[in-house]
Amino acid sequence: MDLKIATWNINSIRIRLDHLANFSKEHQPDIIALQETKCSNEHFPHQALEEMGFPYRINHGEKAYNGVAILSRIPIETYGNEDFNGSQHTRHQAVEIKHGHTSSKAPLILHNFYIPAGGDVPDRNVNLKFGQKLDYLTNLANWFKDDTNPHSENMILVGDLNIAPLETDVWSHKQLLKVVSHTPIEVEHLKAVQKAGNWHDVMRHFTPEPEPLYTWWSYRAKDWRASNRGRRLDHVWVTPKMADKATSVEVVTKVRDWEKTSDHAPVLTTFKL
């Protein structure tokens, strides 16, 4: 069976419910992992999402900030959520996908992350947010190394990781080296996370370097397509057992053209299970 998983920093789920409905209707993902939902659990729009065809929903949110959610047409169960820097922000949710399982006895786990943006100044001594971002990544790497934590050989990791690690993941490597999201120290920390979980970068498998690959374009550009000053902040990673099961990846850029849309485009990945 094919399993289609979308990841999207929606930048407020309640404001962009119509966009979510349109994207869902057109692309028919089985699962949508959302970041920056900006919605507390008690105000999560369950009825509207039920009507969109997502009977299974897990929200880990907070009022006005952060927040992650996983919407599914197929059964899922909570696998846990972690606070990796002690901030009590809602930035991680993992679920076990109960239908369309791999042939392995190990559970199929989906991790959804919204890693801290890190503020504007890439110096933890003057910018608390940047320090929180680095701590989050350090603790996340250690968590994936720790065999006592709940892991599986069949895992998919998606989300807004807020780092563009490769030179062609940004519109200008040279100009962004001192800009938060592409600084060497952030890239080093993200690579440590990737190494700790032996994660494979699915997006770059289908769009190898040196081809540019972006998922985010600033609201500041009047014509984002013309300027194309993008960054790849959204990612899809898999464990080795899942690497050959990914069959396609699409950055759905036309969603970025919609009126009052998110500054992130959804990323849609198809797996053959």
When mean pLDDT is compared across 38-47, 99-108, 133-142, the lowest value belongs to 99-108
pLDDT band of residue 17 (cuts 50, 70, 90) is very high
The Cβ of residue 121 has, within 10 Å, a number of other Cβ atoms equal to 13
* pLDDT for residue 99 is more than 90: no
Q: Kindly provide the b/e burial profile for residues 16-51, where b requires at least 16 CB atoms within 10 angstroms of the residue's own CB.
A: beebbeebbeeeebbbbbbbbbbbeeeebbeeebee
pLDDT of residue 202: 98
Q: How far apart are CA 123 and CA 143, in angstroms?
A: 24
pLDDT of residue 101: 53
What backbone torsions phi and psi does residue 35 show, to the nearest 5 degrees? -125, 160
Question: Where is 18: in which H helix or E strand?
Answer: helix 17-27
> Do 74 and 48 form a contact (C-beta atoms < 8 A)?
no
Q: How many residues does the chain have?
A: 273
pLDDT band of residue 94 (cuts 50, 70, 90) is very high
Angle at 165 between CA 159 and CA 166, to 5 degrees: 125
pLDDT of residue 105: 78
- For residue range 117-159, what is the model confidence (pLDDT) as tens digits? 999 999 999 999 999 999 999 999 999 999 888 899 999 999 9
Tell me, rounded to whole angstroms, the distance of Cα 155 from its chain centroid: 14
- For domain 2-272, the question of CATH label 3.60.10.10 is answered with yes
Percent of the chain with pLDDT over 90: 94
Q: What is the mean pLDDT of the chain?
A: 96
Q: How far apart are CA 224 and CA 230, in angstroms?
A: 8
Q: Counting beta carbons within 10 angstroms of the beta carbon of residue 273, is it exposed (0 to 12), middle (13 to 18) or buried (19 or more)?
A: middle
pLDDT band of residue 272 (cuts 50, 70, 90) is very high
| Alpha helices in 67-125, H assignment, sequence order | none
DSSP state of 222: S
Q: What are the residue ranges spanned by the domains of the chain?
A: 2-272
Give the pLDDT mean for 26-42: 98
Question: Where is 251: in which H helix or E strand?
Answer: strand 246-251
pLDDT of residue 103: 56
Give Cβ neighbours of residue 254 (< 8 Å, ≥ 6 apart).
none
Please give the structure tokens belonging to residue 148. Answer: 């006592």
What strand order describes the sheet that includes 246-251?
A: 56-60, 68-72, 31-35, 2-9, 267-272, 246-251
* pLDDT for residue 216 is more than 80: yes
Give the pLDDT mean for 160-165: 98
| Alpha helices in 166-272, H assignment, sequence order | 173-176, 184-196, 202-206, 224-227, 240-243
Cα distances (angstroms) measured from residue 132 to each of 7, 62, 242: 23, 18, 31
SS3 call for 130: helix
CA nearest to 214, candidates 179, 171, 254, 160: 171
Give the pLDDT mean for 83-108: 86
* pLDDT for residue 102 is more than 90: no
SS3 call for 118: coil
* pLDDT for residue 258 is more than 70: yes
Give the pLDDT mean for 239-267: 97
Give the pLDDT mean for 259-263: 97
* pLDDT for residue 29 is more than 70: yes
Phi-psi label, residue 230: left if phi above 0, alpha if psi -120 to 50, beta otherwise:
beta
pLDDT of residue 13: 98
pLDDT of residue 27: 98
Give the pTM.
0.97
* pLDDT for residue 212 is more than 70: yes
pLDDT band of residue 104 (cuts 50, 70, 90) is low
* pLDDT for residue 100 is more than 70: no
> Do 110 and 70 form a contact (C-beta atoms < 8 A)?
yes
Give the pLDDT mean for 212-230: 96
